[in-house]
Amino acid sequence: MNSTKYKGLLKGSLQIIILKLLQNNDRMYGYEITQVVKEITNGEILLTEGALYPALHKLEKEGLLTASVELVDNRARKYYALSEKGRAKVKVKLNETKSFMGNLALLLNLNPKMA
């Protein structure tokens, strides 16, 4: 994952970001994911292709995502969606992430009202 502001910070969050967006959106393609993340975070988290595409391939390989290519304006788009297995996984991963962020907030004295 990339961003000018958070260089190298909190690796390992890309997976859950992808999974969560697909939990909300039914189906999305890679480039769309980069744009949505950029919008939601006001340009503060900028995903790089070098991180995103391998991550999508891995999730697909693990059976958490299904993929289907479509031609739009003569350009290929690869749409991803959560599989059954993927839908179950998001829930588990989200809870883990929430819990971890709560603990991290505790360690950093960040007043973890979010817990």
* 51-59 contacts at long range (C-beta below 8 A, 24 or more positions apart): 51/1, 51/2, 51/14, 52/1, 52/14, 52/18, 55/14, 55/15, 55/18, 56/18, 56/30, 56/80, 59/15, 59/18, 59/19, 59/86
Among 2, 16, 31, 87, binds a copy of itself (CB under 8 A): 16
* Contact letters for a copy of itself, residues 49-88 (x by CB under 8 A): ----------------------------------------
Choice from 35, 48, 68, 99 touching a copy of itself (CB under 8 A)? 99
DSSP track, 54-70? HHHHHHHHTTSEEEEEE
Binding mask 58-77 for DNA (x = CB under 7 A): x-------------xxxxxx
Q: Give least dist CB 49 to a copy of itself, A.
A: 18
- Shortest CB 96 distance to DNA, Å: 13
- How many residues line the site for DNA (CB under 7 A)? 33
